[in-house]
Amino acid sequence: MSSQVIGLTESLILLVFLIMAIISFQLFRAKSGILLSNRILGVLFSLLSIQILISYLTVIRVLEKPLFILIDDTLLLGVGPLLLLYTKITIGSRKKLDMSDLIHFVPLIFSFVPFMFFLIMPSNYSEWLLGFDLSERIKTLSRAKFQWTSFLMLTHINVYLLSSFFYAKRLQNHNTEANNYKWIIYTLGAFQIINIASYIQIFRPFLFLKHYPSLSFLFILITLLIFLISILLKGMEGSPLFSELTLTKYQNSKLGNEEKVKLHLSLQKLIEEDKIYLNSAITVKTLAEKLMTHPKNVSQVINEGFGKSFYDLMNHYRVVYAKELLSDSSKKTLTIAEIQYASGFGSKSSFHTQFKKRTKLSPKEFRLLMQKDLQ
Domain end among 206, 236, 266: 236
pLDDT of residue 236: 53
Q: Is the dihedral of CA 186, 191, 197, 203 positive or negative?
A: negative
pLDDT of residue 158: 94
Give the pLDDT score at 6.
66
Q: Are residues 194 and 284 in the same domain?
A: no
Q: Which residue has the higher pLDDT, 176 or 74?
A: 74
> Has residue 243 been placed in a domain?
no
pLDDT score of 210? 59
Averaged over 333-341, what is the pLDDT?
Answer: 90
Instruction: Name the band, by pLDDT with cuts 50, 70 and 90, for residue 247.
Output: very low
> Based on the domain organization, do 317 and 212 belong to the same domain?
no
* Highest mean pLDDT of the ranges 63-77, 217-231, 325-339: 325-339
**244 falls within a domain:** no
Distances (CA, A) of 13 to 16, 44, 56, 217: 5, 17, 7, 10
Long-range contacts of 276-281 (CB under 8 A, 24+ apart): 277/313, 277/314, 277/317, 277/318, 277/321, 277/344, 278/318, 278/321, 278/342, 278/343, 278/344, 279/344, 280/178, 280/341, 280/344, 280/345, 280/346, 281/178, 281/346
248 conformational bin, left if phi > 0, alpha if psi -120 to 50, beta if neither: beta
Q: What is the pLDDT of residues 6-45, one digit of tens each?
A: 677 778 888 888 888 888 887 887 665 567 888 898 899 8
Same domain, 207 and 275: no
Indicate which CATH number applies to the domain containing 126: 1.20.1070
- 301 falls within a domain: yes
What sign has the CA pseudo-torsion 203, 145, 12, 22?
positive
Residues 22, 165 within the same domain = yes
- What is the predicted pLDDT for the residue at 248? 47
CB atoms within 10 A of CB 279: 14
pLDDT tens per residue, range 254-264: 777 788 888 88
pLDDT of residue 132: 63
Is 352 contained in some domain? yes
Residues 219 and 366 in one domain: no
In a domain, 241, yes or no: no
The answer to which of 185-194, 210-219, 286-295 has the lowest mean pLDDT is 210-219
**Model pLDDT, residue 246:** 45
Question: Looking at the predicted structure, is the pLDDT value of residue 152 above 50?
Answer: yes
pLDDT level of residue 2 (50, 70, 90 thresholds): low
Distance CA 15, CA 23 (A): 12
Q: Which residues contact 8 (CB under 8 A, 6 or more apart)?
A: 218
Q: Which of 185, 207, 236 is the last residue of a domain?
A: 236
Residue 141 and residue 42 share a domain: yes
Question: According to the model, what pLDDT value does residue 320 have?
Answer: 92
Nearest to 174 by CA among 336, 345, 339, 347: 347
pLDDT at 321 (0 to 100):
93
Q: Is residue 13 part of a domain?
A: yes
pLDDT for position 297: 85
Of residues 202 and 354, which shows the higher confidence score? Answer: 354
User: Would you say residue 140 has pLDDT above 60?
Assistant: yes
**CA 138-17-144 angle, 5° bins:** 25
Residue 113: which domain range? 2-236
77-134 residue pLDDT tens: 999 999 999 988 887 766 678 888 889 999 989 888 877 777 777 766 666 666 666 6
Pair (206, 330) in one structural domain: no
Q: Which residues of 238-268 are buried (b: 16+ CB within 10 A; e: fewer)?
A: bbbbbbbbbeeeeeeeebeeeebeebeebbe
CATH number of domain containing 296:
1.10.10.60
- Cα separation of 36 and 291, whole Å? 34
Q: Is the CB of residue 200 less than 8 Å from the CB of residue 216?
A: yes
Q: In 3D, which of 236, 241, 311, 233 has the Cα closest to residue 276? A: 311
The pLDDT, as a whole number, for residue 306 is 78
pLDDT over threshold 50, residue 373: yes
pLDDT surpasses 90 at 52: no
- Look at residue 9 and tell me if it is in a domain: yes
Query: Are residues 194 and 93 part of one domain?
Result: yes
CA–CA separation, 234 vs 184, rounded Å? 13
Question: Domain for residue 249, yes or no?
Answer: no
Whole-number Cα distances in Å, 126 to 63, 123, 138, 140: 19, 5, 13, 17
Q: How far is the C-alpha of 359 from the C-alpha of 365, rounded, in Å? A: 10
**86 and 204: one domain?**
yes
Same domain, 151 and 83: yes
CA distance 290 to 230: 24
The residue among 10, 36, 41, 47 whose CA lies nearest residue 23 is 41
Q: Enter the pTM of the model.
A: 0.64
